[in-house]
Amino acid sequence: MKILTANRLSDGEAVWLAADHSWAESIDGAEIARDAATEERLERAGKAAYLKNEVVDVNLIDVALVDGQVSPSRLRERIRAAGPTNRTDLGKQARPAIAVAA
Amino acid sequence: MYRYDEFDHGFVQARVAEFRDQVERRLAGEITEEQFRPLRLMNGVYLQLHAYMLRVAIPYGTLNSRQMRVLAHIARRYDKGYGHFTTRQNIQYNWPALADIPAILDDLASVEMHALQTSGNCIRNVTADHFAGAAADETADPRAYAEILRQWSSVHPEFSYLPRKFKIAVTGAERDRAAIQTHDIGLHLKKNAAGALGFAVYVGGGQGRTPMIAKKIRDFLPERDLLAYCTAILRVYNLHGRRDNKYKARIKILVHETGTEELTGWIENEFTALKEGELKLPEADIAAIQAYFAPPALSARPEGDSLLREAQADSRGFSAWLKRNVTTHRHPDYAAVTISLKGIGEAPGDATDAQMDALADIAAELAFDEIRVSHEQNLILPHVARADLKAVYDRLVAIGLATPNAGLITDIIACPGLDYCALANARSISVAQDISNRFASQERQEAVGELKLKISGCINACGHHHVGHIGILGVEKKGAELYQVTLGGSGDEHASIGEIVGRGFGPEEIGGAIETIVDTYLAYRSGGEETFLETYRRLGSGPFKEALYGGEAKAA
């Protein structure tokens, strides 16, 4: 299983390609490719976004589903998805999650 | 310190305007990433895991309080409230937005600072002994020559597209506190028998994936020939350095593959052609630059001795700090202070905006308005009256920067590693924190004594692990972090590359492995004064290998 990741050009924020081809700031929003055809489609969308100067450093990365959550195989990508491990008050990990409605 | 003239101000302002235009065109899509990347690197802008990273140049690590306040302001306004001081005497910000960087550069320019040439294949920050101008053992202040080299190397039309980065360091004492033998060019400022100033010149040092100690190619180069000789070296490197393989492109590889004797011949030939030309440094020009580094007027403050005696009697913490963090000054009434940025359990080399502001105040009021950044990721107040040491200490305590561990095992150098850096394979900060916490006891640290521990999160060795007495290199093996340990490295005038001790350790094991190494040293050292490095050099790796791996079955 793979997802597509990049950094946003304007501020360098780590982002992932969502199903509507927007760029999600949280890895939970990433569209998952389970076959080669979908991987190709993600890559094409990533290339288009790169050429439109929305993002830089576009890459497909390996993920698994762990307890229903998308989890990258590489520690590097897990750190990118959360933030620095020595400062849990910084980065995405410090952002408030959306509260439950009921 | 050097003060910009009209030309300098104009130059930096023009460069900021040019980069602002480049950023705007990039954001509007008028230039591509391929076109923009070399341009942003020349302005110190990297892309990392979470955000861009801006590396601001601090020439030869020298700052005044006004500049420090702007660095604090940038951390507060454009970043997340802190900055990281580096192993090349610079500062890094980990979270700036590209769109904000022109504004940051404007703020820097207002206090005569910039981010030029802190990245890219050009000549980088010229570093110098962080005790320059204060050290009791100094022949002369190396910073005037670092400044001459800075002016020469800035936007040099011939040397802006080198095969790879190029790093120069200058020291002015026999004891090398600038690690010149691990630089592309290392310069040792000294006097010849006639009392004239000049340099021993070293070429081809470096760390990274192929660490090498520099070769001395000139025992004495007269000061007037400094630029002609460095130009000769750069010209030979620019012409012959490899451009086919990024990992073989530094001058150290050229020295290794060509041979020191032949390469020196090429350099000397080039130098002969340049020697009497426009690069020759007239005495008046050297004197004019030296004038910028005239020492502050240090008035007699003989009351220091008795004040210190009283203060030490009152405070154990102050005694410990005095012993470790205060260095002898050439003036008997003064001292150089090391402000450790290695709080127990903290990320090495980081300071908050509030700490930076407070340090600016301390420097302005008690330290002749001068601060230095050391390549060991600490800050220095080079000129403090001994009579004012207690006052400085109390103010450092108030901002949490009085850790009395300079040169001890918890005074760790660590690169940002996998928590921040796109090049990293493993985390380094977490390992530093683990080791720091294990050795938190001041008593235990002092019993261990001087021990320089350096950690890199990848083979690029930005943590300088090759020259750590204990070095740790983080690698990735089968998707997990693994830490290789080297022993016996040193960056001083008796430079050596550390030797790998054996198989690597996982994140849960590495802290314990370091404790085993230290315990082994304590068991084997010859008397309480023999340092870790001395013990290692006397005994070799045998006892350490035995202690770490002795119980394991040997591989076939």
Is A26 in the B-facing interface, judged by CB distances under 8 Å? Answer: no
Confidence of residue A56 (pLDDT cuts 50, 70, 90): very high
**What value does the mean pLDDT take over residues B43-54?**
97
Q: Do residues B502 and B517 lie in contact, with contact meaning Cβ atoms separated by under 8 Å?
A: no
Q: How far is A7 from chain B (nearest CA, A)?
A: 8
Query: For chain B, what percent of residues have pLDDT higher than 70?
Result: 99
Which residue, among B324, B95, B128, B291, has the nearest Cα to A13 in the 3D structure?
B95
Tell whether B511 is covered by a domain.
Answer: yes
Tell whether B1 is covered by a domain.
Answer: no
Q: How far is B432 from chain A (nearest CA, A)?
A: 11
Residues B153 and B273 in one domain: yes
**From CA A46, how far away is CA A57, in angstroms rounded?**
10
- A76 contact residues in B (CB cutoff 8 A): 49, 418, 424-425
Residues B166 and B281 in one domain: yes
Residues B373 and B320 in one domain: yes
**What value does the mean pLDDT take over residues B46-68?**
97
Alpha helices (H) in chain A, listed in sequence order? 36-51, 75-82
**What value does the mean pLDDT take over residues B298-321?**
92
Q: Which residue has the higher pLDDT, B318 or B551?
A: B318
Q: Do residues A12 and A54 lie in contact, with contact meaning Cβ atoms separated by under 8 Å?
A: no
> B22: which 2 tokens?
């480049």
Domain that holds residue B261: 142-292
**What value does the mean pLDDT take over residues A66-92?**
95
Tokens 């006397």 sit on residue: B538
Residues B41 and B101 in one domain: yes
Tell whether B299 is covered by a domain.
Answer: no
Strands (DSSP E) contained in B238-349 are 326-328, 334-339
**pTM of the full predicted structure?**
0.96
Confidence of residue B316 (pLDDT cuts 50, 70, 90): confident
Residues B175 and B58 in one domain: no
**From CA B166, how far away is CA B154, in angstroms rounded?**
12
With H, G, I as helix, E, B as strand and everything else as coil, classify residue B427. Answer: coil
For residue B390, pLDDT over 70 is answered with yes
Query: For chain B, what percent of residues have pLDDT higher than 90?
Result: 96
Residues B152 and B282 in one domain: yes
Q: Which residue has the higher pLDDT, B372 or B478?
A: B372
Tell whether B124 is covered by a domain.
Answer: no
**What value does the mean pLDDT take over residues A77-93?**
96
User: In this predicted structure, what is the pLDDT of residue B556?
Assistant: 42
The CATH number of residue B456's host domain is 3.30.413.10
State ipTM.
Answer: 0.94
Of A10, A53, A73, the CB nearest to B99: A10
Total number of domains in chain B: 4
Residues B172 and B80 in one domain: no
Q: Which residue has the higher pLDDT, B478 or B451?
A: B451
β-partners of residue B47 are B52
**What value does the mean pLDDT take over residues B273-285?**
95
Number of Cβ within a 10 Å radius of residue B328: 14
Residues B317 and B459 in one domain: no
Residues B469 and B537 in one domain: yes
Q: Summarize pLDDT for B111-122 with one digit per residue, the tens.
A: 999 999 999 999
Residues B486 and B512 in one domain: yes
Of B27, B32, B481, the CB nearest to A75: B481
Domain end position, chosen among B259, B292, B325: B292
Which residue, among B341, B360, B357, B359, has the nearest Cα to B349 in the 3D structure?
B341
- Cα nearest neighbour of A13 on chain B: B51
Q: Summarize pLDDT for B523-555 with one digit per residue, the tens.
A: 999 988 999 999 999 999 999 999 999 977 554
User: In this predicted structure, what is the pLDDT of residue A100?
Assistant: 66
Residues B284 and B323 in one domain: no
With H, G, I as helix, E, B as strand and everything else as coil, classify residue A65. Answer: strand
Tell whether B281 is covered by a domain.
Answer: yes
User: In this predicted structure, what is the pLDDT of residue A98?
Assistant: 66
Torsion sign across C-alpha atoms B8, B13, B17, B20: positive
Tell whether B131 is covered by a domain.
Answer: no
Tell whether B137 is covered by a domain.
Answer: no
Residues B160 and B225 in one domain: yes
